[in-house]
Amino acid sequence: MSTVLTIEKTRFLINGKLTYSEIEDCPEDRKGLLMNSRMIQGVFDETSDPSRFARYGFDAWDPDAQTDRLIESLPDWYAYGLRAITVGFQGGGPCFTVPNLEITNNPFGEDGKSLDPAYANRMDRIIQACDALGMVVIPSYFYGNQTRHLDGDQAIEEAVRTASRWLKEGGYTNIIIEVANEQDIRPFKEYSPICYSPYGMAHLIRIAREESGGMPVGCSSVGNSVHEPIARESDVVIIHGNGCSRQRLYNLINKTKQWSDDRPVLVNEDSQANSNLDVCVREGVSWGYYNNMTKQEPPSYWGVLPGEDTYFAHRMAESVGIPVTELSEAEQYYLQGLEPHMTYDGERWLRLASRYPETINYVEFFRNGELYHRSYDDPFPIDYKSNWRQGGVPSVSGDEWKAVVYLVDGRVLERSGTVV
């Protein structure tokens, strides 16, 4: 392995140097951060009805091709400053289309003592690709609804041992383990109470640390949530910013730091609300981008896409001192969701992406000339439910959509497009 992750107090080091030290203009207070993105479906598969994922412009579902595309995207992300990705053994979501309870995406045997070689191979390829670039992988073991395939808490413990031993045997040195994604969501309460209990999770963290040979371990809870037993047991205190305004995220960080005991705090899931990135870096916390439309609905589009992805990439690069070609004002606002492939079951998900959402007062959306919706909160979607989730709109060929953007300085911009 060529990438060795270590931790000194609250900062991350790669090969003995604070992250971003190689960037001449990186501010001192940004060195040692680990900017990351949720690529949770990197090893995703579906055994109950894979034909449902032959969509979004792909003629067939192919889990290996999904992994290949992620690997191919990594150099572009690295160039913008991304230094870690979260990949789930049991995946995540989808949030807009196929209910997770209808999906079978589980690499563990019922007793937790085996790991599907195909999943292991895909995870290995991702870890090796990140290692070659100088990036870190955050393998996430459990996703709520998928733990129903494991036979109780004893099987959960065995699966932690199985996955951790596999990481140890692989000799990987660029790993942070996340035992579970959001351990306090309801499915864990139903299917794996040991994960749902903060003390039970602290126990699993200890097992993962021991069985992995001392790899850093943590576990996330739901957005705007942190539990003292988990935080105090973690080597990296992992939190989620889902649903957090900038103020709530700041408050969550302060609460977490009461229990982090001079260890790093890392957000590995938030939203497309890029203004939250700035809150984290000011507080010495690594931020995790989460685009659950293009990066969690398989088959995923892993690259730096126009709109949200590009705006995040530019803000991340700017935060760590990487020069990027400045976007013109016309390029800083984008009507997202009209891409031909991004539709499902007669719906699509429209929002106004922006380089600087702080410049926007509110957005009005018009369908065929008629006012359809007003949006006041970043990331400015139609039918805002949270900063990471929204409702769909009818996807009707020929419909004309227009976003009228009211800026805080009094100016008004428009972005429009037609459903193909």
State the residue for tokens 């992620």.
70
Domain end position, chosen among 270, 297, 320 = 320
**Confidence at residue 412, expressed as pLDDT on a 0 to 100 scale:** 98
Residue 50 lies in a domain: yes
Q: Do 91 and 189 share a structural domain?
A: yes
For 377, which DSSP code?
Answer: S
Instruction: Examine residue 299 and say whether the peptide bond preceding it is cis (omega within 30 degrees of 0).
Output: yes
Q: Do 209 and 350 share a structural domain?
A: no
Q: Do 254 and 274 share a structural domain?
A: yes
Q: What is the DSSP string of 356-412?
A: -GGGEEEEEEEETTEEEEEE-STT-BSSEEETTEE--EE--TT-EEEEEEEETTS-E
Q: Do 398 and 277 share a structural domain?
A: no
Domain range enclosing 120: 5-320
Query: Tell me, what amino acid is at 86?
Result: T
How do strand 136-143 and strand 84-88 relate by DSSP bridges? Answer: parallel
Q: Do 339 and 315 share a structural domain?
A: no
In this prediction, the residues of the chain whose per-residue pLDDT falls under 50 are: none
Facing residues of 367 across strands? 370, 401
Provide the H-helix boundaries in 212-367.
228-233, 246-260, 275-282, 308-320
Q: What is the DSSP string of 162-186?
A: HHHHHHHHHT--SB-EEEEESTTSH
For 360, which DSSP code?
Answer: E
Q: Do 14 and 93 share a structural domain?
A: yes
Q: Do 271 and 132 share a structural domain?
A: yes
Q: What is the DSSP string of 189-205?
A: HHH-HHHHSHHHHHHHH
**Confidence at residue 341, expressed as pLDDT on a 0 to 100 scale:** 87
Domain end position, chosen among 262, 296, 320 = 320
Selection from 22, 8, 67 nearest residue 320 by Cα: 22
Q: Kindly report whether the global pTM for this prediction surpasses the value 0.75.
A: yes
CA-based Rg of the chain, rounded to a whole angstrom?
A: 21
3-class SS at 340?
Answer: coil
Q: Residue 366 phi/psi, 5° resolution?
A: -120, 135
Total domains, the chain: 2
Q: Do 385 and 277 share a structural domain?
A: no
d(Cα 26, Cα 148) in Å, to the nearest integer? 45
Q: Do 266 and 118 share a structural domain?
A: yes
State the residue for tokens 């060195």.
31
CATH code at position 26 = 3.20.20.80
For residue 174 the two structure tokens come to 């660029």
Residue 201 lies in a domain: yes
